[in-house]
Amino acid sequence: MENIAELIENGKALLGIEFGSTRIKAVLIDENHNPIASGDFVWENRLENGFWTYHQDEIWEGLQESYRNLKRDVADKYGVKLTKVAALGFSAMMHGYLAFGKEDELLVPFRTWRNSTTGEAAKELSELFAYNIPERWSISHLYQAILNNEEHVPNITFFTTLAGYIHWQLTGEKVIGVGDASGMFPIDPKTKSYDAVMLDKFAELIKNKGFDWSLPEILPEIRLAGESAGVLTEAGALLLDPTGELAAGAPIAPPEGDAGTGMVATNSVKQRTGNVSAGTSVFAMIVLEKELQNYYPEIDMVTTPDGSLVAMVHANNCTSDLNAWVGLCKEVLTTFGVDVSGDELYGTLYRKALSADADCGGLLSYGFLSGENIMKCEEGRPMFVRLPDSKFNLANFMRTHLYASFGALKVGMDLLLQKEQVSIDTIYGHGGIFKTKGVAQNFLAAAIDTPVSVMATAGEGGPWGMAVLAAYLVNKNEGESLEDYLASKVFADAKGESVDPNPEDVKGFAAYINRFKSAISAEQAAVADFK
């Protein structure tokens, strides 16, 4: 404890802050990449004027509160003040749209990745580029605004992601990590920059619009992991810590998306590895040996934080509906005067699912709070369905909602594994759903018929991964790759647990997913008719 206190006082700790969909978390690590303190802030997106958004003031309130809670944790644990760090970095949910004008003003409210209002733009760009451009990508949001003749578009001088915005405000640098950039516009894996051919095609597409800007002029500049991306300015330090106690001048790593920090947090930046990050949304990142033969609307092509090609299967929905059902169980218990902790509640209900039928006994759930592109649902309608003779009990009920959390993901992953014959040695899982040992981990292994590992650090997730990227920025050796740094300095002695897919569960999940796919018309009908 004394050593850690001295390390913090000497400004040798490293800081990562990630803006997730429901929580902003700050993690402080030591020189050996061990988490030593944390702080967080809970927030939630809202649907306003047809768009999922967070208010601009909430971004800064959340940043400051998570850092304030981190400082409090440091003081409580070590009896010292946090006044300086060796390096830091910011990450956030990828994609979305933050557009700014010539006075650096936000032109329209932040449009998050969760919006599925860009279908026309995404379809047209995918056909133009012969490359999958998902609805949530930043370029889809921009082009849809162009198609809609939105008034703000001619006034754009810069647009970026949430992580890029925060980084810009704290450093003055309009830059972005290559992994986050790959969710804005396609990246050429050879040059590790925006694809020049596609930039030219886009320029030709909008040439008659008469805009004063070109796309390369308003996109942020790309930085690779380990490259300089600026320092914390005096104004930035005050924005992060309004008390004025935090010193300026610390190097800041390139801002990254939550997909990239998830890859770092699970040591899955090398070929034939991958990770599944499960939270409000769920995505699988598979580092490829070669480019895919075809392009699929269900699969994004993005990159690792150091620019390697990655196939990304992203589902908009994962645990939100599952959490709502657990919350209902909590309310029932509270009504009867029974008080249980969150960990006990989730752990008990999750473990109950282990005694269920492998195919969930004929039950079916669609946990779609928002639109789900993979399943061709424009909006969300959470729905639970059973046959009159289904085996309706608590175990099957819990398993069907856990299966449903990975349902859309499996549909996309089957394209990679079955159609493209992509080889994966192991998948690393991270996110709160994996905290209860041997449940979601086993079900994910069954869904993709691949071994799944969960490391001891998986609970730290993205903010820890961002802190590691900050450490890589200042502590790497000359010419040391991110892959080598992680293998030798971060995960050399890492502890974790791996499970192989259970053959019965593999068959059960296959039966469930056939039901999931064949009955999707009911979910689509609910979207159309249930208003």
Contact 422, 430 (CB under 8 A): no
Render pLDDT for 395-406 as a digit per residue (tens, 0 to 9): 999 999 999 999
Asked if residue 193 is part of any domain, the answer here is no
Render pLDDT for 175-232 as a digit per residue (tens, 0 to 9): 999 999 999 999 998 999 999 999 999 999 999 999 999 999 999 999 999 999 999 9
Work out the average pLDDT over 239-256. Answer: 98
Work out the average pLDDT over 86-93. Answer: 98
Residue 443 has pLDDT above 90, yes or no: yes
Asked if residue 101 is part of any domain, the answer here is no
Do 459 and 327 belong to one domain? no
Q: Distance between CA 256 and CA 269 in Å, rounded?
A: 14
Do 265 and 342 belong to one domain? no
Asked if residue 37 is part of any domain, the answer here is no
Q: Distance between CA 452 and CA 429 in Å, rounded?
A: 7
Do 397 and 446 belong to one domain? no
Asked if residue 494 is part of any domain, the answer here is yes
Q: Distance between CA 409 and CA 405 in Å, rounded?
A: 8
Work out the average pLDDT over 3-8. Answer: 96
| Span of 81-85, 249-253, 277-281 with lowest mean pLDDT | 277-281
Do 334 and 470 belong to one domain? no
| Antiparallel, parallel or unpaired: β 309-315 and 383-386 | unpaired
| Antiparallel, parallel or unpaired: β 158-160 and 35-42 | unpaired
Render pLDDT for 344-400 as a digit per residue (tens, 0 to 9): 999 999 999 999 999 999 999 999 999 998 999 989 999 999 999 999 999 999 999
Beta strands in 397-513 (DSSP E): 426-430, 452-455, 496-499
Do 451 and 431 belong to one domain? yes
270: containing domain: 259-316+410-501
Q: Distance between CA 199 and CA 284 in Å, rounded?
A: 27
What's residue 290's pLDDT? 87
Do 449 and 471 belong to one domain? yes
Residue 449 has pLDDT above 70, yes or no: yes
What's residue 262's pLDDT? 86
| Antiparallel, parallel or unpaired: β 426-430 and 452-455 | parallel
Contact 144, 120 (CB under 8 A): yes
Do 434 and 489 belong to one domain? yes
Asked if residue 274 is part of any domain, the answer here is yes
Q: Distance between CA 102 and CA 154 in Å, rounded?
A: 11
Render pLDDT for 128-162 as a digit per residue (tens, 0 to 9): 999 999 999 999 999 999 999 999 999 999 999 99
Beta strands in 246-341 (DSSP E): 256-257, 273-278, 282-287, 299-303, 309-315
Give me the residue label for tokens 């020049």.
196
What band does 459 get if pLDDT is binned at 50, 70 and 90? low
Asked if residue 382 is part of any domain, the answer here is yes
Do 383 and 486 belong to one domain? no
Q: Distance between CA 319 and CA 21 in Å, rounded?
A: 11
Do 436 and 400 belong to one domain? no
Do 436 and 485 belong to one domain? yes
Q: Distance between CA 122 and CA 414 in Å, rounded?
A: 22
3-state secondary structure of 42: strand
Q: Distance between CA 421 and CA 413 in Å, rounded?
A: 11
Render pLDDT for 498-527 as a digit per residue (tens, 0 to 9): 999 999 999 999 999 999 999 999 999 999
Asked if residue 2 is part of any domain, the answer here is no
> Average model confidence (pLDDT) for the chain?
95
Render pLDDT for 22-35 as a digit per residue (tens, 0 to 9): 999 999 999 999 99
Contact 395, 306 (CB under 8 A): no
Looking at the chain, how many residues does it have?
531
Read off the pTM: 0.82
3-state secondary structure of 171: helix
What band does 279 get if pLDDT is binned at 50, 70 and 90? confident
Contact 306, 48 (CB under 8 A): no
What CATH number is associated with residue 284?
Answer: 3.30.420.40
Element (H, E) at 75: helix 56-78
Identify the CA nearest to 509 among candidates 395, 359, 381: 359
Q: Distance between CA 366 and CA 275 in Å, rounded?
A: 23
What's residue 291's pLDDT? 86
**Percent of the chain at pLDDT above 70?**
99
Do 299 and 424 belong to one domain? yes
Identify the CA nearest to 107 among candidates 143, 63, 157: 157
Work out the average pLDDT over 89-98. Answer: 97
- How many independent structural domains does the chain possess? 2
Asked if residue 384 is part of any domain, the answer here is yes
Do 394 and 523 belong to one domain? yes
